[in-house]
Amino acid sequence: MLDACCRFGSLNQRERSVGRACFDPRRSLRGRESMARLSLIALSSIVFLTSASADALKDTLPHISVTGEASEDEIPDSAKLLLDIVTERPTAVEAVNANAQKTRALLEDLARQGIRTDGIRASGSTLVSLRSDGSAARGAHAGRVSRTFRARNELSVLVNSLDTATAIVLRAVDSGSNEVRGMEFIVGDETARSERLRVAAIKNAEQRARSYVEALGSKLGRIIEIAHDEVTRSDDVERESTPTAAAPTNGAIALPLRPGARRLTAKVSVTWALSR
Q: Span 14-24, mean pLDDT?
A: 40
Residues in the chain: 276
Which of 22-36, 48-62, 167-181, 185-199 comes out lowest in average pLDDT? 22-36
89-140: pLDDT as tens digits: 999 999 999 999 999 999 999 999 889 999 999 989 999 999 876 544 455 4
User: What digits encode the pLDDT tens for the residues 141-156?
Assistant: 555 667 899 999 999 9
Average pLDDT over residues 198-222: 92
Q: Say what the pTM is.
A: 0.53
Residue 240 is classified by DSSP as S
Angle between helices 92-112 and 162-175 (to 10 degrees): 150
249: left (phi over 0), alpha (psi -120 to 50) or beta: alpha
Cα–Cα distance, 210 to 64 (Å, whole number): 10
What's the rounded Cα separation, in Å, for the pair 252 and 76? 24
219 alpha-carbon distance from chain centroid? 43
What was the pLDDT predicted at 166?
82
From the list 189, 186, 223, the residue with the least C-alpha distance to 206 is 223
Please report the domains of the chain, with CATH numbers, ordered by start residue. 57-75+189-275 (3.30.110.170), 78-186 (3.30.70.2970)
Specify the higher pLDDT residue, 237 or 262: 262
Rounded-to-integer distance, Cα 158 and Cα 47, Å: 41
